[in-house]
A and B are shown apart, each in its own frame.
Chain A
Amino acid sequence: MTAVADFEPKIIGFLCNWCSYAGADKAGGMQETYPPNVRIIRVMCSGRVDPQFVLSAFEKGADGVIILACHPGDCHYKEGNCRALQRHGMLNMMLEQLGVEKERCRLDYVSAGEGEKFSRVIREIVESVRVLGPLLVASDHNAEILSTE
């Protein structure tokens, strides 16, 4: 396993357009740096995050995934974040069976105003995935299971 200190994890961040993506923009406006490891995929609603997107991210080389939603009660689409939460619970059970640590797939809430919280959550996920080390699925049969093709 790569030494923790040298390891730069690749993380996919699914951000909903209305709250967390705007929160990321807010963090940008504050011009405070945070680790560069998270590649952001914009979706209109966290309720659009299909578990197969997460599995696919792991299969294609991500070491971690973070889903950021509007706070409960604030969803632009009323309850998409609740769906995301339900699916995240289900995903965690599935990932556990595949031997993927649950810390690699986190769901959190960031509002459009929470630039600071966004940077903090990014720092936290990067650190927790860094500690876990790279996700080693590429060559074993998990890759086949993760593969949704």
Chain B
Amino acid sequence: MKIGIYFCNCGSNIAEKISSAAVAAAASSFPDSPYVKIVDFICSEEGKLQFEESLKSEQPDRVVVAACSPRDHEATFRRCLTNVGMNPYLIQMVNIREQIAWVTEDPAVATEKTIAAIRGAVCRVRLQQPLEKKQLEVCPDALVIGAGPAGMKAALSLAEAGRAVVLVERTPFIGGLPVRFEDLFPAMECAPCMLEPLMGDLLHGDHVGKIELMTMAELIEVTGFYGNFIAKIRRKPRHVALHECIGCGECVEACPATTRNEFNSNASERKAIDFAFTGVLPNAPFLMEEICIRSKGVECRACKDACPMGEDVVTLDEVETTVERRIGSIILATGAGLYDASRVVGMGMGTLPDVYDALQFERMLSSTGPTGGEIVTSDGTAPSSVAIIHCVGSLDEDHKPYCSGICCQYAFKFNHLITAKLPEVSITHYHRDLVVPGKEAHALLQHAAGNKNSSLKRYGSIKDLAVTHGSNGRLQVSATGDTSTADMVILCPAVIPAEGADRLSSLLDVSCDSFGFFQELHGRLDAAQSTLKGVYLAGACQEPMDIRSAMLEGMASVGHTLAGLQPGRMIEIEPATAEVDETRCAGCRLCVSVCPYHAITFDSERNASHINAVLCRGCGTCVTACPSGAIAGHHFTNEQIMAEIEGVLK
């Protein structure tokens, strides 16, 4: 074995503290180390050239570079090794600049410490093995869960890039929450009009052949791993053939059964077969089996008979199915919901009439909603005063400690819309902190502040507020030292993860934070990646956000998908990972329980653990945990680390 030692002066950075001559003299006693080359700036173009030339002429089996931090230039020198035909894992760096030269007072001591550190590296590098990156074929296609703004944007962009996309949506329609709103903050754009082109593209655009949309569907099982997932999706029967239905509504007219419509916040009725709401896309009704009188044994086919498009459109016998799709990555875009405002004591939610949460009020404002966009109280008259209470359950240790970020903006949007419809109505905002970030949001606040019929009242704690019955059947809002009457109260509850996020989290083994939002791999560096490789996050499923951010997050997740998986290109698997020696594995499965990436499975037939090299990130926790010493942590083996310890202590 021949180990080449390279010592970088780093100009005067290292040279003024550490004597290269003393190091070279000491190195002559190191095992298998016949030479020490001193270079001035080994990371410079000239330095790298010198390094490579020396590697070519000396032909060492292993290399030690004593220079700066490996966090700076390990990759640089590994590339040099590759350039001269050496395996890049046969180098060990010694950090003599950041960790010795710059922090040691006495040059003699610094030199002595350097000699010990290089001896450790020499002892370690002797045991380092060439490692090869493995390659794996992958599926470049993606599964997107949730067809709200983030999911739609992601699906469309992937399809534009030529990827096949399976878009799974739990409800019977696309567009998410905002498609049910009238206007949007900050620019008061009509929500359906803004989303329509996107939805149209998704359903009928140029890339529609690439998108398989499944409404009324949910993910029930995922196996495999990054690049090679198999997803099982359960499709509930719609009982209407989407592509044949023309959306005329004849079947709805004919249907004899009714129920409350959850997509209108239960504020209106619907038939058993009906549209989710007016203007919905895809423009087709769906049948609620549990409401249909056939479920009670009545032989009815009124809807089917009413259909002008023939026998095959209304499919009464359709049953639930399960389909499998192969994909390489998964984008979670499951969105958000609202905290149940009835859990905040004193707000009157669910107990007093004319108290609405923001989603209910959005539907009341909507021209496709239960009142056709008319703002009316429960007695059918227009209100003369409205109270809007911000931060219901947000910034509140008893409920959700975080700021929900979007509420102030839509509360001022409400102000704008109410004033437009009922100019004389007086509006009181009860708020804690006001959050109107960015360059556009302030306009709605200023509009509300400039509205002669509006007032802003700040409260300290939601406990200081109470909504109660007032006189003449009106409501009364009491704040500290102040009581006002209101005909209608609108609550802005905390934004929370959409229902079912917890189920997806356990199904995929993707972590959630303490609030139930999907956890980012890193809150700032990798905010669009989940904790599981190949599963990305888009939109309000990771934290409260507005449509603009959700769309951007959708694009960010697409970026990860496109960059990571490309048709015809295999993915490289980092070899500095862990591997089980099956003959030594005792089958205790401790490794399975400590692996933070679920990269280890237990093969009961072989009675041994198996590590998936694609999922393993090389932390080495399992290597340490294994009581049988059956797991090797490549490039950080026990032998290598022990040799280094011994080397530095000699």
Contacts and interface: CB of A to CB of B under 8 A. Distances in A.
Contacts of B596: 77-80
Given A25-B71, A36-B110, A48-B633, A80 B645 contact: no
Interface in B82-141: 95, 97-100, 102-106, 109-110, 112-113, 116-117, 120
Contacts of B102: 28-29, 31
Interface in A1-58: 10, 12, 17, 21-22, 24-25, 27-29, 31-34, 36, 39-45, 47-50, 52-53, 56-57
B617 to A, nearest CB: 6
Given A25-B71, A33-B105, A36-B109, A41 B645 contact: yes
Given A34-B103, A48-B619, A62 B649 contact: yes
A43 B641 contact: yes
Given A25-B71, A34-B103, A53-B642, A39 B619 contact: no
A57 B113 contact: no
A52 B641 CA distance: 11
B202 interface: no
A61 B583 CA distance: 34
B621 interface: yes
A28 B645 contact: no
A52 B645 CA distance: 11
Contacts of A22: 71
A45 B619 CA distance: 5
Given A36-B113, A39-B117, A77-B619, A25 B624 contact: no
A42 B645 CA distance: 10
A60 interface: yes
Nearest to A118: B103
B527 to A, nearest CB: 16
Contacts of B106: 36
Contacts of B648: 12, 39, 41
Interface string B634-650: 00101001101110111
A50 B640 CA distance: 13
Interface in A69-119: 76-80, 83, 87, 119
A47 B642 contact: no
Contacts of A29: 98, 102
Given A39-B120, A42-B70, A28 B641 contact: no
Interface string B62-85: 000000011100000000000000
B337 interface: no
A79 B595 CA distance: 9
B414 to A, nearest CB: 38
B95 A47 contact: no
Interface string A110-149: 0000000001000000000000000000000000000000
A53 B636 contact: no
Interface residues of A, number: 41
B71 A39 contact: no
A45 B649 contact: no
B-side interface mostly: helix
B376 interface: no
B641 A53 contact: yes
B540 interface: no
Nearest to B69: A25
Report which residue of B71, B109, B511, B531 has the largest number of chain A beta carbons within 10 angstroms of its beta carbon.
Answer: B71
A80 B95 CA distance: 24
B13 to A, nearest CB: 10
A34 B531 CA distance: 37
A45 B576 CA distance: 13
Contact of B103 (A17, A21, A31, A41): A31
A90 to B, nearest CB: 12
Nearest to A48: B620
B619 A80 contact: yes
B531 A78 contact: yes
Contacts of A47: 594, 619-621, 624
B618 interface: yes
Interface in B225-258: none
Contacts of A39: 113, 116-117, 120, 648-649
A33 B645 contact: no
Contacts of A57: 645, 649
B105 A80 contact: no
Given A41-B641, A50-B624, A28 B99 contact: yes
A34 to B, nearest CB: 6
A26 to B, nearest CB: 8
A42 to B, nearest CB: 7
Contacts of B641: 41, 43, 50, 53
Contacts of B113: 36, 39
Contacts of B644: 41
Interface in B580-628: 594, 596-597, 617-621, 623-625
A27 B594 CA distance: 32
A43 B71 contact: no
28 contacts: A17-B71, A25-B99, A27-B103, A28-B99, A29-B98, A36-B106, A36-B109, A39-B113, A39-B648, A40-B99, A41-B120, A41-B645, A45-B620, A47-B620, A47-B624, A48-B620, A50-B623, A52-B642, A53-B638, A56-B645, A60-B650, A61-B649, A78-B511, A80-B596, A80-B619, A83-B621, A83-B625, A87-B624
Q: Which 8 A-B pairs have the closest CB atoms?
A: A28-B98, A48-B620, A47-B621, A77-B619, A78-B596, A45-B619, A39-B648, A25-B98
Given A25-B99, A53-B641, 16 more contacts: A21-B69, A25-B69, A25-B98, A28-B69, A33-B105, A39-B113, A39-B648, A44-B618, A48-B620, A48-B636, A49-B624, A53-B638, A76-B619, A83-B624, A83-B625, A119-B103
Interface of B: 69-71, 95, 97-100, 102-106, 109-110, 112-113, 116-117, 120, 511, 531, 594, 596-597, 617-621, 623-625, 633, 636, 638, 641-642, 644-646, 648-650
